[in-house]
Structure 1
Amino acid sequence: MAYRRTEAVVARLTETRERIVDAALALVARHGYGGTGIPAIAAEAGLSTGALYRYFPSKAELFDEVFRRGSQREIDVCAEAARQPGPARERLARVVEVFARRALKGRRLAWALLAEPVDPLVEADRLRYRLPYRDIFAGIIEDGISAGEIAPQDAVLTASAMTGALNEALIGPLAPQAKRTDQDMLIAGLARFCVQAVGPDPRSSRKDRP
């Protein structure tokens, strides 16, 4: 008869796996991928190195899970900000501010998620995890178009450009060797850029007509 894991065993394995990921995420947030080793993660999780490898056969697989877990947390926060009521441009600015302010507050983790050199496995996920941000912006833009607040346009194209611009604009300020910047000015500039990217309010031009 094949061995079947009991619910208690499955729960214990799941809890241990979660503890490993939480420990790795905490260490990456402090030291980045390059400064975080498997022995340190195992010690943080209260395990031996050998026991850890039973859950994650390679460092790349563990770091990929860390990346996905950390990225999803940020996506969820931005999605919640996008769901708050208000005009489309106000919602765009709110999401940009939430994204940028959280990145600048947790600089080491943000650098790891956005730009730190990583294993190809993590790099592939890094590209895929840009899509949810694009979809958040595209959804707001589409709402604005439906409400007549934003002129008709390719919402996905505009949102893709916004997502790429935000990532690129934050890489410099987040870099480990970067000097501290005026965060409020940086965030305001990013929000202004994204709001202007959707074009002028079409209702203003209609009001100016005789």
Structure 2
Amino acid sequence: MTKPGKTDARLSPRVAARQADARRRILEAARVVVAEHGFAAAQVAVVASVADVATGSIYRHFPSKASLFSEMLRVVCERELEVVRAIAGEGGRSAGERIGDAVATFVDRALRGDGLAYAVIVEPMDPEVDQVRLEARAGLAEAFAGLIEEGVESGEFAAQDARVRGAAIVGAFLEGVVTPLAERETQPPDREAISGEIARFCQAGVAHPHPGGNR
């Protein structure tokens, strides 16, 4: 018997394609529902309606509500992590520049993400869903730690604990977008100003001068 969320290898290519398309539509519908209503109010029946599938069909792909929303969150977080990693991997630029650009880009995308970003960053979740959020934050922290290590090795930064400061950068920019997202309905955020301010703060946290000299 095929487990929920898995594709049976014995299916014909046409049936397998239909199942893959249904799974994609369900995940996209879950993203839309969370963006509009948040995690707490998101219901499987509403997701089914948006995806134009039967509620029972969702449980053929995902064994529980938590597994559905954790997979949706994983897809969203992986997309954002790929963006940060792409900026981190750009050649010919200083580590500090890439840290600033990665932070500013993440913040700008979060502010444009509106209700979905607020739900992902702020709202309480089921333990299974929250575990995905914790893993995503760890991935972001690792990306920034790698940049800090590059900066230390090249002499751009003074010696410092890259893992601790990488995690601190993630905590700073996630916390920095909470208030603008919470106030978005009454006060639309100035994305450029907010992303620039948070990026400069994060850069300053790792680019302090070497002892005994100015840079």
After TM superposition, the score normalised by the length of structure 1 is 0.87
What percentage of aligned pairs have identical amino acids? 38
User: How many residues in Structure 1 have an aligned counterpart in Structure 2?
Assistant: 205
Q: Which residue of 2 aligns with 1:68?
A: 74
Which residue of the other structure, out of 26, 37, 41, is the alignment partner of 1:31? 37
Cα deviation digits, residues 34-81 of structure 1 (max 9, x gap):
343222211222211122222223211111111111111111111112
Which residue of the other structure, out of 156, 161, 170, is the alignment partner of 1:154? 161
Which residue of the other structure, out of 176, 179, 201, is the alignment partner of 1:193? 201
Equivalent position SS for 1:34: helix
1:174 has 2:174 as partner: no
User: Residue 166 of structure 1: CA displacement?
Assistant: 1.5
| Equivalent-residue separation in structure 2 for 1:104 and 1:127 (angstroms) | 20
Q: Within 5 Å, give how 1:33-182 maps onto structure 2.
A: 33-85=39-91, 86-175=93-182, 179-182=187-190
After TM superposition, the score normalised by the length of structure 2 is 0.85
Runs of 4+ displaced beyond 6 Å: none
Gaps of 5+ in 1: none
Gaps of 5+ in 2: 1-7
Q: Which residue of 1 aligns with 2:4?
A: none
Question: What is the letter of the counterpart of residue 46 of structure 1?
Answer: D
| Equivalent-residue separation in structure 1 for 2:9 and 2:190 (angstroms) | 57
The answer to whether the Cα contact below 8 Å between 2:156 and 2:207 also exists between their aligned partners in 1 is no
Cα deviation digits, residues 3-39 of structure 1 (max 9, x gap):
9723424343333222211221133233322343222
Cα deviation digits, residues 171-198 of structure 1 (max 9, x gap):
2221266743433332222111111111
Equivalent position SS for 1:205: coil
Q: Bigger CA drift: 99-108 or 174-183?
A: 174-183
